[in-house]
Amino acid sequence: MIATLRGVIAEIEPDRVVLECSGVGYGLIVTGADHGLLQSGKEAHVYVHEHIKEDAHDLFGFLSKDTKRLFEQLLTVKNVGPKVAIALLDIDKIDGVRQAIADGNIKTLQTAKGVGKRAAEQIVVELRDKVGLSSSDSADSVVSRGAASRQRNDEAFQGLVALGYSDVDALEALANIDPDLSVEQRITQALKR
């Protein structure tokens, strides 16, 4: 197994780079961000993920160990292959992608090529607690901190979260619903939105 490579960038192609190490050129598929940082004729050290299947042996190169780790986490999600994982890493900086997953930001994840709503939801469900971040304070922009903490303790909020809503989406859905209604009525109105 190849874990890292150090060498000189021999070629830069639109979808990959060739890293020459001791006379052997390794074709590496890289993220858009890493592609922009690599320069022909310059030395580079990359972390490598090998993806081997019947008809292909692809090498994915990353300038950061954290990027490689998130790439490998994405591959654990059902129906997320290496091309989709690379597309997801290209939607933002690594911390932005991790935060989108932690926040359950489906719309941001859907901006990646090949990622539909179901795939984005699956990524959030499977990786939300594994990316090493907690949900951001973006829920506070929807309602005040006091209202947010009150809603987190209410059964309608908990019901929406149990149905798969992110904290932010659940708070947003309940923001303008009369709190004096029954739990069932509030959930029904939130679902209609």
The reply to whether 69 and 123 lie within a common domain is yes
The reply to whether 29 and 83 lie within a common domain is no
Residue 133 lies in a domain: no
31, 67 contact by CB (below 8 A):
yes
The reply to whether 11 and 25 lie within a common domain is yes
Q: Which domain holds residue 20?
A: 4-62
pLDDT band of residue 137 (cuts 50, 70, 90) is very low
* Predicted local confidence at residue 12, as pLDDT: 95
Residue 76 lies in a domain: yes
Residue 134 lies in a domain: no
Name the domain boundary from 127, 147, 171: 127
| Listed range (76-80, 96-100, 182-186) with the worst mean pLDDT | 182-186
Transcribe 7-74 into DSSP letters. EEEEEE-SS-EEEEETTEEEEEEE-HHHHHH--TTSEEEEEEEEEEETTEEEEEEESSHHHHHHHHHH
* Predicted local confidence at residue 44, as pLDDT: 95
| Listed range (94-103, 106-115, 133-142) with the worst mean pLDDT | 133-142
Q: Check whether 145 has a pLDDT greater than 50.
A: no
The reply to whether 20 and 57 lie within a common domain is yes
Q: Check whether 154 has a pLDDT greater than 90.
A: no
Contacts with 39 (C-beta within 8 Å, 6 or more apart), sequence order: 9, 12
Residue 80 lies in a domain: yes
The reply to whether 71 and 116 lie within a common domain is yes
Residue 153 lies in a domain: yes
**pLDDT tens-digit series, residues 56-90:** 899 999 999 999 999 999 999 988 999 999 999 99
Residue 57 lies in a domain: yes
Please indicate, yes or no, whether the overall pTM of this predicted structure exceeds 0.85.
no
Instruction: Read off the CATH number of the domain in which 11 is found.
Output: 2.40.50.140
Structure-model confidence comparison of residues 184 and 145, the more confident one? 184
* Predicted local confidence at residue 146, as pLDDT: 39
The reply to whether 46 and 10 lie within a common domain is yes
Residue 86 lies in a domain: yes
As for how many domains the chain has, the answer is: 3
* Predicted local confidence at residue 182, as pLDDT: 86
The reply to whether 85 and 96 lie within a common domain is yes
* Predicted local confidence at residue 136, as pLDDT: 52
The reply to whether 82 and 116 lie within a common domain is yes
pLDDT band of residue 19 (cuts 50, 70, 90) is very high
